[in-house]
Amino acid sequence: MKLFRYYQAKHALGVLDELEIRTSIPNTLNDPFELSPNIDPLQFTQKKTEAFLRADHNVDYWYAREGRKFGFTSRKAYKRHYLKDIPRRAAELLPKVPKNVEVVRKNFADDFSRRWRIVCASRVPDSILMWSHYAANHTGAVLEFDTSEQPFCRITNLTLPVIYSEKKPDYVHYNKYREFEKSLFTVATTKAADWSYEKEVRIIVAAGKPLRDSLYIPISPASITAVVCGCRMPAVMKLQIRAALKHPHFSQVRLMQAVLHRSEYALTFNEEN
């Protein structure tokens, strides 16, 4: 699969020189509606709340908080006591659910950002709106990436098309991690219908290693297969991009020039030598 990223000229040149791309911290994305789900408090029934409290991380949490205070010297002994007490704890927790849900909703983007980064890309290279918004009024460039190359081929299961919707996504809490993660990523890849022209694909990347400074992901030179120069790109920037592409590891890269269509509101791309 080929994916496209729109850049200011200097940032496109930076990708070619440094062989890394900058990920986005989710809570800094330009749309304030990002990662702002709808969470229905009614999903947390007595039964589901009990199942939530049985999760190992909750056992660990409460053992650390009250285990020794109650005289337990081992997690195993405390767990037996804790599990017997779960129905009471769940009944006590239920009235607090609406308030807790609102806190989770407000902090959703911040909490997600502690663990994940996002690489935003598009399935199309010729959106005149995105050339205007993200490529500095057509003075920048679009880079074409081949997702069968590193690092994209390692994270294909987390390369997800964006869903465009008139309503916010519903976040449903699951106790099983795989379902829980899927629910998280549904929220992270749902945007307002107004953004549908972007035809966006998002790559979800765990924060931390191998990211440099928890932001920059290294890429293989082979993953870059084309550079499209904007119709208004300054000649000096185009010369610098040409110079960068002379490196032997970019022998596969096609250099393209965006040109305004004569009779339509559209762009055409001419391949250059």
Question: Which residue do the tokens 């308030």 mark?
Answer: 99
pLDDT at residue 181, as a whole number: 87
pLDDT at residue 231, as a whole number: 98
The residues of the chain scoring below 50 in pLDDT are none
Question: Which residue do the tokens 């935003």 mark?
Answer: 120
pLDDT at residue 38, as a whole number: 95
φ and ψ at residue 214, rounded to 5 degrees: 60, 20
> Judging by beta carbons within 10 Å of its beta carbon (0-12, 13-18, 19+), is residue 89 exposed, middle or buried?
middle
pLDDT at residue 235, as a whole number: 97
pLDDT at residue 105, as a whole number: 93
pLDDT at residue 176, as a whole number: 77
Calculate the alpha carbon distances from 135 to 20, 26, 229, 233, 246 in Å. 18, 20, 10, 10, 23
Bridge-partner residues for 22, per DSSP?
216
* H runs (alpha helix) in 2-141: 9-18, 46-54, 56-62, 75-84, 86-93, 97-106, 108-113, 128-134
pTM: 0.87
> Judging by beta carbons within 10 Å of its beta carbon (0-12, 13-18, 19+), is residue 86 exposed, middle or buried?
middle
